[in-house]
Chains A and B, each alone.
Chain A
Amino acid sequence: MAVVRLQNISKSFDRQMVINNLCLDIVKGEFLTLLGPSGCGKTTVLRLIAGLETCDSGTILINGRDQTRMPACDRDVNTVFQSYALFPHMNVFDNIAFGLKLKKIAGTRIRDRVKEALELVKLEGLETRPIHQLSGGQQQRVAIARAIVNRPLILLLDEPLSALDYKLRKQMRLDLRHLHRKLGITFVFVTHDQEEALTLSDRVVVMHNGCIQQTGTPKDIYETPVNLFVADFVGESNIFDAQVTRTLDKDMEIQIQGITKMVQNRRNFTKGQTVKILLRPEDMTVERTRHQCPPGFLPGQVKEMIYKGTTVDLLIRLDSGHDIFATEFFNEDDQDIFYDVNERVCVSWIKGWEVTLPHE
């Protein structure tokens, strides 16, 4: 059973539609990420679940009960805010104990639970520290402790890592995963950072303009995006227009950038249809040439070479004028992945690694 079910939710601010007829089930215990560019409505979805906003239409079921109109203070849901929103006039202990005190829990029990929460976020012994004496990372952990100490059904995290520096962010990702496994409660995480979404989540929901574009595992989202927006937003893609010239059993022949190539036909495209071919840079194969390219290869010229330590990124201008990116990995057998600028190359990919979408 879904721990949260959003049914046909809509929400407007100042007559501007922010959430448009959205439906989403959140499975108990999963780590779900809402991913999208700023202004796509992901934070609003979070605030609707928290009860900090009320929706214009639709219903919100939490644990099977209709809580659409229930105020935030009565919901069994807690939030870690983007700005942490720690109470500046209280110390660490009072911040974490705030929710428990409101629930009129006995003082000794509060002390134990605060201690336990601080251990979970690895901040033992900081109870009496004033908030302004904590580092950004520590404040982040107090904000998490303040939410999980209430043992909520669902923990909502609103871009909690965005204010941290790169190294700290990587560490916190690991800690969040660990915390999720340890607590066993549902995490709903909001971010605009696709890398964060892919590495953290059991399931990713990609949003755009108040609508869900795709829901799936990180692998699904990355490898089989359902539309151009998802493909473009999650990771980098080279996008080509192509024409289906012939269909076979499970394959089809397409005309792409002036050459003919066989690709898989997963969506029953028909002859004459215009399609988009999406290729990730790391799926491109690049070969040097002095002469003509073999059939099925696109001829081009290296325009830039960007060294990135474990990989080399190539910007290649195809002879058709189309610019593409290709990523080459270092490996034991082939050390020679450095190219000269203007060196002639042939580019292709292994059949089946492409994503084919209908022309939008």
Chain B
Amino acid sequence: MKRWMGISWVSLVFAFLYGPLLVLMVFSFNQARYTTAWQGFSFTWYTSLFENQHLLDAFVNSLIVAFVSSLAATAMGTLGAFAVSWYRFAGRKIFFGLVYSVMMSPDIVMGISLLMLFVLAGIHPGFLTLLTAHITFCLPFVIVLVHARISGFDPSVVDAARDLGAKEYDVFFKIILPMILPAVLAGWLLSFTLSLDDVIISFFVTGPGFEILPLKIYSMVKLGVTPEVNALCTILFLLTLAAVMTAHFLIKEKKK
């Protein structure tokens, strides 16, 4: 009886979480333009998507921002997490205080505060401001992920490597880097997803000359639903799905 209740509650919630996404994906293949009635399977909206230069530009812009910002955040965050957790660093509490407060602070506040910073500093909103903002909100995720991995180590592994003849350089590249690599890759993938999906912060820091996909979708949906957006959202969802599942696999593997 109780078991039955549990199963049905869990199924209902999953149906709620996945139902709309499923409908979205199915309808991206629907021939019909205006009605919800099924008029046959087709790739029409995918082909028309790839002929829509505006959307493609925004997509490429988004990919560039996501790629560069996630890469930068991963490099910086990995170094930071490594330095803070490996060498006993006096200010580590302050450091992690900052990291967690950035992680928790509401997107809207980060958005408007960066907007004011860029306006007052006279920086033209566009690619660079977007990049800066995205690095800022990705950085804490990378730091937390990599730090978690490093603190799971047996510290004497480094002693062992030195004992067997490894110099500082060998220790980093042959021992530490390969050991934290899964977490670094996961941090990179998740940063990429975060950056690709962000609406609120980007909304305040981008300029008219540099359109990115989520904002483009936002303005299109405000004007009305078009089947191309179905196709676009399906592609974006599948991209996220692939990135998250890979990242999850990478993080989980360490627990063996």
List the interface of chain A (C-beta within 8 A of B): 47, 50-52, 71-74, 77-79, 81-83, 85-89, 98-99, 102-103, 132, 146-147, 150
* A77 CB contacts on chain B under 8 angstroms: 163
Nearest A-chain residue to B175, judged by Cβ? A87
Min CB gap B253→A, angstroms:
10
- Determine how close the nearest CB of chain A comes to the CB of B204; give it in whole angstroms: 42
B219 touches A (CB below 8 Å)? no
The answer to whether B157 and A102 have CB atoms under 8 Å apart is: no
Closest to B174 in A: A98
Which residues from 150 to 189 on chain B have a C-beta closer than 8 Å to any C-beta of chain A? 154, 156-157, 159-167, 170, 174-175, 178-179
A85 touches B162 (CB 8 A): no
Instruction: Tell me the complex Cα distance, A150–B157, Å.
Output: 17
Chain B interface mostly: helix
Query: Nearest CB to that of B156 among chain A residues?
Result: A85
Q: Which of B162, B164, B165, B179 contacts A88 (CB 8 A)?
A: B179
* Complex interface: chain B residues within 8 A of A83 (CB): 154, 156
Instruction: Report whether B159 and A52 are in contact in the complex, using a CB–CB cutoff of 8 Å.
Output: yes
Q: Give the number of A-B contacts (CB < 8 Å).
A: 65
Could you tell me the distance between the alpha carbons of A74 and B256 in the complex, rounded to whole angstroms? 33
Separation in Å of the B90 CB from the closest CB of chain A? 13
User: Is B256 in contact with A73, judged by CB distance below 8 angstroms?
Assistant: no
Contact A79 B179 (CB under 8 A): no
If A72-B162, A150-B164 touch, whether A85 touches B178 (CB-CB below 8 Å) is no
Q: List 29 A-B contacts (CB under 8 A).
A: A50-B159, A51-B162, A51-B163, A52-B159, A72-B163, A73-B163, A73-B164, A73-B166, A74-B165, A79-B159, A79-B160, A79-B163, A81-B156, A81-B159, A82-B156, A83-B156, A85-B154, A85-B157, A85-B159, A86-B157, A87-B161, A88-B179, A98-B174, A99-B165, A102-B166, A102-B170, A132-B256, A146-B160, A146-B164
Assess the B156–A50 pair: CB atoms within 8 A: no
What B residues does A72 contact at CB under 8 A? 159, 162-163
User: Known contacts A102-B165, A102-B166, A102-B170: does B160 contact A89 (CB below 8 Å)?
Assistant: no
What residues on B are CB-neighbors of A99 within 8 Å? Answer: 164-165
> A52-B159, A81-B156 are contacts. A102–B256 as well, Cβ < 8 Å?
no
Q: A86–B161 Cα gap in the complex (Å)?
A: 9
Select which of B157, B163, B165, B256 is within 8 A of A87 by beta carbon.
B157
Instruction: Tell me whether A89 and B178 are in contact (CB under 8 A).
Output: yes
Extra contacts, 20 of them, besides A52-B162, A73-B167, A87-B161 (Cβ < 8 A), are A50-B159, A52-B159, A52-B163, A71-B162, A73-B162, A73-B165, A73-B166, A77-B163, A78-B163, A81-B156, A81-B159, A81-B160, A85-B154, A85-B159, A86-B157, A87-B179, A89-B178, A102-B165, A102-B170, A147-B164
- How far does the alpha carbon of A74 sit from the alpha carbon of B165 in the complex, in Å? 6
Report chain B residues within 8 Å CB of A98. Answer: 161, 164, 166, 174
Residue numbers in B under 8 Å from A89 (CB-CB) = 178-179
Chain B min CB distance to A44 (Å)? 13
User: For residue A132, which residues in chain B have a CB less than 8 angstroms away from its CB?
Assistant: 256
In the complex, chain B residues whose CB is within 8 Å of the CB of A86:
157, 160
A104 shortest CB reach to chain B, Å: 10
The residues of A that contact B156 with a CB separation of less than 8 Å are 81-83, 85
Contacts of B256 in A (CB 8 A): 132
Which residue from chain B places its CB closest to the CB of A75 in the assembled complex? B163
CA–CA, A132 and B179, complex, Å: 14
Chain B residues within an 8 Å CB radius of A81: 156, 159-160
Q: Shortest Cβ distance from B155 into chain A, in angstroms?
A: 9
Q: CA of A303 to CA of B169 in the docked complex: distance in angstroms?
A: 65
Which residues of chain B have C-beta atoms less than 8 A from A73's C-beta?
A: 162-167
State the Cβ distance, A199 to closest chain B Cβ, in Å: 26
The complex places the Cα of A147 from the Cα of B166 at a distance, in Å, of 13
Question: In the complex, A86 Cα to B13 Cα: how many Å?
Answer: 44
CB distance from A54 to the nearest CB of B (A): 12
Q: How far is the CB of A177 from chain B (nearest CB, A)?
A: 23
Q: Shortest Cβ distance from A334 into chain B, in angstroms? A: 52
Contacts of A146 in B (CB 8 A): 160, 164
**A89 CA to B154 CA in the complex, in Å?**
13
